[in-house]
């Protein structure tokens, strides 16, 4: 890991679905200076074609891992080449490129693991077309966790709010059974650890939502809080963690509570993320905690209808880069 104060960080960018908006965002991002060195892990012809379609000048150079890192310059993009299976047509999904998408992720992840890159930033993929290509795929988070041999925790962040999830892409009918004492304890441990290690927070303050309405209303609206959540929180507090909860989710996000918190832990995907996206959609980033690498991502999808236009917002990708730089460069601890 390079010292961000003296040497530019090297950040890998995967443009995601080649027919989607990811390649557009990468070539538009390359028009701006950045303090880190950005390397796209992608097909260089795809990026060149998309730059021409957008009327952007772009000088593409093959990445040389032996060269000194330097900040990215406007109009220049380093690329670690990965060839498409078939030419990508803007806005037209093709399952034959599923293996290409996964190969870009695999190469970028492996390069972070061996220290060539300091962080990974991912643009959106299309889960459906990858599965249609014959590969079982539930998402970036699960793919990277398996490749790294780690247990992941998903967290989204926008200025003023971080929301982590105890469960991720599960049907609502399966959430209750998935929240066991062992699982919840591990999620809290990872969240606490990475807030300290990756964000430099000495004593993270975490608000924990209940699962049921009114946090179970003393057992009248469900017993998960009594049987699972409260015992886990008590044990975690005994190990020195600053946790508040379980709180009714409908009041956990009021400003007065958030002023005293570094993160909120929601029990399931749509309990926490609507609040965060209402506050900061287009300025939020998805963060995978619990990995041996830094990984952030955008908070939106492939936006097939915006490909080839200049209407796709860069804000989420820039937020993802800013947070990746913060996480990869964190060396001290703040109170």
Contacts of 309 (CB under 8 A, 6+ apart): 24
Q: Is 34 one of the annotated binding-site residues?
A: no
- Would the annotation count 269 as a binding residue? yes
Q: Is 295 annotated as a binding residue?
A: yes
R_g (Cα) of the chain, nearest Å? 20
Strand order, beta sheet including 59-62:
59-62, 76-81, 37-42, 10-14, 119-122, 295-298, 285-289, 153-158, 161-165, 263-266, 205-209, 242-247
User: Does 169 count as an annotated binding residue?
Assistant: yes
DSSP 190-249: HHHHHHHHTT-BSS-EEEEE-SSGGGGGGGTT-SHIIIIIHHHHHHHHHTT-EEEEEE-H
Let me know the angle formed at the C-alpha of 129 by 124 and 135, rounded to the nearest 5 degrees.
100
Known binding residue 300? Answer is no
- Beta-sheet strands, E only, within the chain: 10-14, 37-42, 59-62, 76-81, 119-122, 153-158, 161-165, 205-209, 242-247, 263-266, 285-289, 295-298
Question: Is 220 a known ligand-binding residue?
Answer: no
Annotated binding site for a divalent metal cation: 169, 214, 269
Residue list for the binding site for substrate: 140-141, 277, 286, 295
Binding residues: 140-141, 169, 214, 269, 277, 286, 295
């Amino acid at each position: 890991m390079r010292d961000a104060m003296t040497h530019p960080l090297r950040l890998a960018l995967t443009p995601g679905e080649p027919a989607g908006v990811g390649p557009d965002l990468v070539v538009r991002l390359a028009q701006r200076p950045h303090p880190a060195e950005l390397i796209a892990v992608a097909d260089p012809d795809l990026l060149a074609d998309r730059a021409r379609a957008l009327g952007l000048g772009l000088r593409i150079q093959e990445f040389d891992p032996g060269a000194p890192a330097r900040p990215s310059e406007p109009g220049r993009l380093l690329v670690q080449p990965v060839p498409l299976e078939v030419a990508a047509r803007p806005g037209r999904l093709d399952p034959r490129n599923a293996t290409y998408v996964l190969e870009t992720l695999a190469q970028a992840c492996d390069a972070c693991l061996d220290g060539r890159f300091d962080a990974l930033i991912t643009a959106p993929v299309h889960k459906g077309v990858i599965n249609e290509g014959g590969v079982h795929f539930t998402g970036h988070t699960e793919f990277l966790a398996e490749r790294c041999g780690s247990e992941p925790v998903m967290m989204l962040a926008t200025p003023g709010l971080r929301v982590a999830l105890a469960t991720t892409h599960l049907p609502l009918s399966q959430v209750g059974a998935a929240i066991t004492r062992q699982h919840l304890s591990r999620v809290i441990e990872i969240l606490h650890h990475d807030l300290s290690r990756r964000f430099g927070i000495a004593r993270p303050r975490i608000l924990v939502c209940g699962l049921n309405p009114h946090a179970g209303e003393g057992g009248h609206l469900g017993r998960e809080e009594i049987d699972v959540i409260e015992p886990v929180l008590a044990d975690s507090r005994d190990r020195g963690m600053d946790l508040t909860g379980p709180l009714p989710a409908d009041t956990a996000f009021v400003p007065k509570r958030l002023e005293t918190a570094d993160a909120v832990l929601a029990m399931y995907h749509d309990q926490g993320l609507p609040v965060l996206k209402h506050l900061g959609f287009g300025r939020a980033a998805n963060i995978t905690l619990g990995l041996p690498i830094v990984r952030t991502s955008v908070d939106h999808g492939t936006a097939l209808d915006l490909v080839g236009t200049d209407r796709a917002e860069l804000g989420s990708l820039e937020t993802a880069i800013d947070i990746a730089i913060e996480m990869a460069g964190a060396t001290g601890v703040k109170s």
